[in-house]
Amino acid sequence: MELKEKIIDEIKKIYDPELPVNIYDLGLIYDVQVNEKKAKIKMTLTTPNCPVAESLPKEVKEGAMQVEGIEDVDLELVWDPPWSKDMMSDAAKLELNL
């Protein structure tokens, strides 16, 4: 399994505290890139005022660091494009009855 896939698997273990869906399927992870032993992750939150704005990016970074072979994680929190329900996976939409 590639490092990128392993990182995504770790991110899928992180759930939104208010919803029964992992943050990857929610569409909060915009991009994951791996260059040798360094991962670069772009993510967003559902809103800038999200109650987990401090803790969720930290959880993502720590999760990616759990992957064997990753020594550094550059996590960028972005607001463009803004998150919307359209970014959710079909599985997440089913889970939330959308």
Q: Is residue 87 part of a domain?
A: no
Are 78 and 30 a contacting pair, CB within 8 Å? yes
More confident residue, 70 or 97: 70
pLDDT at 35: 95
Q: State the residue range of the domain holding 55.
A: 3-82
Give the count of domains, the chain: 1
With 80 as the cut, is the pLDDT of residue 42 above it? yes
Q: Is residue 96 part of a domain?
A: no
Round to whole Å and give the CA distance between 85 and 77: 18
Predicted TM-score of the model (pTM): 0.91
CATH no. for residue 77?
Answer: 3.30.300.130
